[in-house]
Amino acid sequence: MNKLYRTSARNLVRRSLKGNSIDRQRRRFIAMVAAGAMMPLAGASRTAPPASMPIKAITFAFPIYDPRSIFAAVEQRFPEQGQALSKLWFTKLFPYTWLRTTAHRYVGFEVVAAQAFDAAASMLGVAATAADRDLLVAAFSQMELWPDVVERLGQFQQLGLRLAFLSNLSEPMLRANMRRTGVERFFEAALSTDRVRAFKPAPEAYQLGVEAFGLKKGEIAFAAFAAWDAAGASWFGYPTAWVNRLGQQTESFGAPPTLAGRDLAVLNDLLYRSD
């Protein structure tokens, strides 16, 4: 797997923005990040974002949690075929969600993940039991945070930004991860596609963020983990950042342009963007 590269704070924002007020806010934000002045505070009161900042809220897909722990669990369970199994499992998993949404045959993520696992194991001739499968599907509720997450969430909270998950995972899976990793205090909502019975990139799935925050699309940033999710969010109308944690190859979907980076620092450029 590719290593996570962290971008230095002083190089985060290079884009030229109009207006002295915006420039002052950007310089102030960068200085605070560099100085480590904005740390997460449990129970801190929320202030409104600066008037110069068009983004009022951020929805996160999957860049908060590191899925490599799931790969590791598969390889530990099946040492000889684990790498091939985890790769094929994930290759099948998301197309299965798209098929069910297109056919209006929605079932929860746990069911789809189990079905995709069974298919992958069968194709590879892996002798996996139902217990093996259930244990590995449960690993989606036991992921670890990426190293930059707590600090960045604290920074966003101190700026007055409202935060929520918007995920294909079920709400119980999301909340189990949030409780285990201690990030519940940062998030206003855990929005699961179960609510609309349509997986992303269906527009009604992204609409969950608009309804939860009561804001316009252009006021809600979307932090995607996968290229297809970045394309879907951008098509929907969210200002979008692709947090390309694993260094995936760029895709060409014809979607509106999105910012891209290796960690949550890429969101900083989105906060004050005026276009």
Residue 220's alpha-carbon distances to 56, 147, 273, in angstroms, are 6, 24, 12
How many C-beta atoms lie closer than 10 Å to residue 88's C-beta? 19
The structural domains of the chain, ordered by start, are 49-65+144-271 (3.40.50.1000), 68-141 (1.10.150.240)
pLDDT(47) > 90 = no
Q: pLDDT tens digits for 67-97?
A: 999 999 999 999 999 999 999 999 999 999 9
Distance CA 61, CA 183 (A): 15
> What is the β-pairing status of strands 259-261 and 220-224?
unpaired
Among 50-54, 55-59, 119-123, 168-172, the minimum mean pLDDT is found in: 50-54
- At residue 209, the pLDDT reads 98
Q: Which residue has the higher pLDDT, 23 or 47?
A: 47
Helix (H) or strand (E) holding 66: strand 65-66
Distance CA 104, CA 87 (A): 27
- At residue 254, the pLDDT reads 87
pLDDT(10) > 60 = no
Q: pLDDT tens digits for 128-175?
A: 999 999 999 999 999 999 999 999 999 999 999 999 999 999 999 999
- At residue 275, the pLDDT reads 55
pLDDT(2) > 80 = no
pLDDT(3) > 60 = no
Distance CA 42, CA 186 (A): 8
pLDDT(176) > 70 = yes
Q: pLDDT tens digits for 203-262?
A: 999 999 999 999 999 999 999 999 999 999 999 999 999 999 999 988 888 888 789 999
- At residue 205, the pLDDT reads 98
- At residue 253, the pLDDT reads 87
The chain-wide mean pLDDT, for the chain, equals 85
Contact 232, 217 (CB under 8 A): no
Q: Which residue has the higher pLDDT, 1 or 88?
A: 88
* Prediction pTM value: 0.81
- At residue 14, the pLDDT reads 38
Beta bridge partners of 163: 58
